[in-house]
Amino acid sequence: MKILIVSEYIAPLQAIASVRWTKIAKYIKKAHPEAKITVLTNQMDFSEDGGQKRDELLAEDLWAFDEYWQVPKSSQLKTYEAIKRKKAKDVQNIEQELYASRKSGILSRVKQELLIAIRDLKERIFYHQAIKYLHDGKAMDFDVVISTYGPAWTHLVAEKIKKQNPRMIWIADFRDPYAKGTDTPLAFWRHRRFVRAHCAVADVITRVTDNLYLNEAPTMIVQTVTNGYDPEEALEPFAPNTFSIVFTGMLYGDLRDIGIACKAVKELSDGGKIKDARVVYAGTDGRIAKKLAQRYNADDYLDDMGMLPRSAALRLQQNAAILLQLNWNTAAIQCQWSGKMFEYMMMKKPIAFLVTGDMPYSYPSQHMKLLGGVCYEQCRHEETYPALKQYILNKYLEWKQTGNVTIQRDEEYVHQYSYENIAEKVWQLICPKEERSV
């Protein structure tokens, strides 16, 4: 079995998106060592000026790849990426404005469409570079090609390969939606056109959650392949030295409201029920985290650790008293478990999930008990906020009395999200039944 994985996010690039296919490939290789796995990605630059970071922990899984092909970037693309890094704050401000405002102005929408148009042009250019790279002496005798969005060039390349080799199995994976809830109607039209035009010859389309927006044609076969956790990366949970409530990740404007956790800690502290508890944030949005905490006059209870390597973020979680997850639940986007949640699962720590948005009874609210955690919903504040505070207080009192925190969770439920299980599900998609029975 010869497998080609086409992905921009893959080991050793530091990004939560890099974990998915690195780990699936790793466990396919462990269970089926006869599989030959090749990666096609863009050339990575871990120099100081390159703008990318190397994940040393994820790099330990590079052994799973028999070949590793990196498409060189043209001078034009290098110039584009240099300008993008230089203007990163301006781009982020536009995106945060769109996330933070439910009714963004026409100017913001025009800016967004301009950014998308530039991105799409860049991806088309890179697609042609990738095809040229493959035509320059690369053997394309693969049995399976797996491409994962985003970005879009990965599916465009896989489409080209599939049309040239119709007997090859193509899995078109969507770990992210092409269009998001904050996007314009034009973006959703583009999404529908992209999926139906460029993924039409895929044998299977996989999505990371059941409710990820695809708008696929009725004839397309769709399977859900969730993210998960790598049991070999699990760290033994440490007894917390301090009572810290830890969140690592992005905030997306006010859609992920870390301020609610700060508010709860402040009120418990002001009431004399807890002492020296902290909400700890690690990520690129420290400025936003502080503003969210300031809404509740609770920024004194927030510690900003900045952006950390993934190994350091895992150690931060390992020492936490409570792990904090944030997301939003609306008619446009319903939240489910994310890559961060699976990372949290392997930590065996108490988890508090805070959900903003106007749709009640979210997926986390229905399933957090299976993880021994608690879920707060903004749209059910009066009902769920007291439960959040009580959960924090209970774990604090346990920590004060015993020096540690514990959870009771459904281990069978958690185990289903092991990448070992997920990889076998993918193997069954790509390996014909007659071959599996041999």
Which helix (H) or strand (E) segment holds residue 161: the answer is helix 153-164
The pLDDT assigned to 180 comes to 59
- For residue 29, give the amino acid letter: K
Under 8 Å between Cβ of 243 and 264: no
The pLDDT assigned to 421 comes to 96
pLDDT (tens digit per residue) in 373-398? 999 999 999 999 999 999 999 999 99
DSSP assignment of 23-88: HHHHHHHHH-TT-EEEEEEEPP--STTT---B-HHHHTTGGG-SEEEEEPPPHHHHHHHHHHHHTH
pLDDT (tens digit per residue) in 238-273? 999 999 999 999 898 888 999 999 999 999 999 999
Return the exposure string of 354-372: e unless at least 16 CB atoms fall within 10 Å of the residue's CB, then b: bbbbebeebbbbebbeebb
In order along its 438 residues, the chain shows pLDDT tens digits of 999 999 999 999 998 899 999 999 999 999 999 999 999 999 998 887 777 889 999 999 999 999 999 999 877 777 766 666 665 555 555 555 554 444 456 766 677 677 777 778 888 889 999 999 999 878 889 999 999 998 899 999 999 999 999 999 999 999 887 665 556 677 777 778 888 999 999 999 999 988 887 888 889 999 999 999 999 988 889 999 999 999 999 898 888 999 999 999 999 999 999 999 999 999 989 999 999 999 999 999 999 999 998 889 999 999 999 999 999 998 877 888 988 899 899 999 999 999 999 999 999 999 999 999 999 999 999 999 999 999 999 999 999 999 999 999 999 999 999 999 999 999 999 986 545 444
Alpha carbon separation from 349 to 137, 216, 237, 342, 377 (Å, rounded): 50, 38, 7, 12, 21
- For residue 44, give the amino acid letter: M
The pLDDT assigned to 338 comes to 84
pLDDT (tens digit per residue) in 417-437? 999 999 999 999 998 654 544
CA Rg value for the chain: 22
Rounded distance, CA 433 to CA 125, Å? 39
